[in-house]
Amino acid sequence: MNEARRRSVEVIDLEKEKATRDKVESYLKKKDPDIIIFNGHGNDVSVAGDDDKTIAEVGRSTYLFKDKKVYVRACRAGKKLGPDIVNNGATGFVGYIQDFIFPYDKDSIHKPLQDEYAKPNLECSNQVGISLIKGKSIKDANDDSLKMFKQKLDEQLTSKSKNSLVATCLLWNMMNQIVIE
């Protein structure tokens, strides 16, 4: 979102109590955004918003994603929701076919990008959204993210880190991130 604001790209941020199915569908119809980014809990067929209630799912209103680039950072949404979104006309989709897993420091829970455990995985997955906002194609956005995953993984392997948990999660998330066009 910082990248979008820096580029004067209009951002419609539906967070917390605004992250409901009705609001999402309403904004998709009225505002017709080019890029949609979901960040929440998910499963093979859906992604959740506020209070873990479904905001998008297979077979329901996925036509609203037509001609849009979609990134869903939610567990396993790449398995069925992603293909359904693309089959209904989305330009492309990036998501995950397994759970998105990352470590974090319990003492830094409110500052994930300052948390040395959480930061690498979150930065790599955030890169998808950043590249999309920069105007890149869905494929290039995915490639940028994967490149960062590899770079961060390399850093972890050569670091003096006492445990390999960050690297383990980087590899997992990298291998499970998919692009569908």
Which residues would be at the binding site for other proteins (CB under 8 A)? 41-43, 52, 75-76, 97-107, 109, 117, 153-154, 157-158, 162-165, 167-169, 171-172, 175-176
Smallest separation (angstroms) from other proteins to the CB of 98: 6
* Nearest CA among 57, 60, 168 for reference residue 120: 168
Whether 169 contacts 101, CB under 8 Å: yes
Distance, CA of 14 to CA of 20 (rounded, Å): 8
Smallest separation (angstroms) from other proteins to the CB of 9: 28
Smallest separation (angstroms) from other proteins to the CB of 94: 16
If the CB atoms of residues 12 and 157 are measured against other proteins, the closer one turns out to be 157
Q: Which two tokens stand for residue 130?
A: 């950043």
Buried (b) or exposed (e) across 43-64, using 16+ Cβ within 10 A?
Answer: bebbbbbbeeebbbbbeeebeb
If the CB atoms of residues 2 and 159 are measured against other proteins, the closer one turns out to be 159
Smallest separation (angstroms) from other proteins to the CB of 171: 5
What value does the CA radius of gyration of the chain take, rounded to a whole number of Å?
16
If the CB atoms of residues 90 and 153 are measured against other proteins, the closer one turns out to be 153
If the CB atoms of residues 8 and 158 are measured against other proteins, the closer one turns out to be 158
The helix or strand, by DSSP H or E, that contains position 167, with its residue range, turns out to be helix 165-176
Q: Specify the residue for token string 């790599």.
A: 124
